[in-house]
Structure 1
Amino acid sequence: MPAIMTPAGPLDLPTLLFRNRIIFIGQPIFSQVAQRAISQLVTLATVDEDADILVSLNCPDGSIYSVLAIYDCMSWIKLKVGTICLEIVASQAAVLLAGGEKGMRYAKQNARVMIHQPSTGVGV
């Protein structure tokens, strides 16, 4: 991953986003992705108890359990957490987009949000 030059020296993109209180999730949300996002949310909530957090999403799918773990953490911390869809948020990940603070949920002009009927796995 390319480094971004700053006055303090080169920074990788994930570090730069984190310093700006942006958590980027750009893959299907499963256990490891959820653990990383939750640890970032808790860390940012501890470091500065007044600044908002933005969760940037580009997630085609994932595990509902992992998504709900992130959702619960977003609800648990006292900070306002905004969400933004950059390309696609589908299936379970759409729950996370909807979990952003009221007035802080966004989808870019060409973004796609796909929500479907819940599946129980029973029957045909």
Structure 2
Amino acid sequence: MCFFNPNPNKEKETTPSPTPTLPIPKVPFWEIEVNEENEEKEKITWIELYQHLFLGRFIFLGKPIDAQSTTHIVKSMIHLDQQDAEMNFKFFMHCRGGSLIGGISVYDVMQYVTGDVTTVGVGLNASAGAFMLHGGTVGKRFIGKHGRAMIHQPFVAIFEKRRVRLTVEDAQYMNHLRNYVAEIYARNLRLSPDRMYGKIERDVHLTSKQALHVGLVDQVLDKDKLKVIIADTRKNPS
């Protein structure tokens, strides 16, 4: 059988193939099962990497926080806290800002859950990202050696995607959020609210050492500390 092109001068039309994606590896997950004789038996289940990290309470944020990422983080933390209130969270973030309301929502939930919340800042964490970074459990707030942070005057753009007329209540709410963030910073960084407002009148860029010095974080991350973070699974009894 002979195949030929009836239009030899016309280039062959091809459908572009989709961009290939790397397969997500599966990893072992160990569980303890109790049989009818009340004997414990170890069971190994192979699950996807993302599910394994989720069950290990590793949370990742690698973009400016928005409504979608806020909802995902808040739901995950509340669900996992209900499953086992004594397990700790590890929150790795590279958040260049985003929604202040979203950042405050995540910060508040971090204070509500029972387990400790270790925050690890990698890359740049600015504005709402810096606020969440410093909201971890005291003593467990880390920043990478080459990480950066930026804090500034709290700014709220509630209706940035809608053209509406702001009411007095809206203005009061925005002012309340600004004061809330400034007061939290002032308390945790051991400054008066007036001094805090003066300090963040402009953007304040911090290296990892400077973030440690002002009290935004507690430690600068290294290889040994990362191993400790990963192994820190359960809340120490007080």
Q: TM-score with structure 1 length normalisation?
A: 0.87
How many Å separate the matches in 2 of 1:10 and 1:2? 13
Tell me the alpha carbon deviations over residues 75-110 of structure 1, each in whole angstroms, 9 at most, x when there is no partner: 111221111101111112110001000011000111
CA RMSD of aligned residues (A): 1.8
The structure whose RCO (Cα within 8 Å, separation 6+) is larger is 1
Tell me the CA shift for residue 31 of structure 1: 0.9
| Alignment gaps of 5+ in structure 1 | none
- 1:6: which partner in 2? 27
How many Å separate the matches in 1 of 2:106 and 2:116? 14
Map 1:84-95; keep pairs closer than 5 Å.
Answer: 84-95=120-131
Q: How many correspondences in the alignment?
A: 120
Map 1:48-63; keep pairs closer than 5 Å.
Answer: 48-63=84-99
Structure with max Cα Rg:
2
1:42 maps to amino acid: I
- 2:146: which partner in 1? 110
SS in 1 for 2:86: coil
SS in 2 for 1:62: coil
Pair 1:46–1:119, CA change in 2 (3 A):
closer
8 Å contact kept, 2:122–2:144? yes
How many Å separate the matches in 2 of 1:93 and 1:76? 19
2:93 maps to amino acid: L
- Structure 1 moving runs of 4+ over 4 Å: none
| Alignment gaps of 5+ in structure 2 | 1-21, 29-44, 158-238
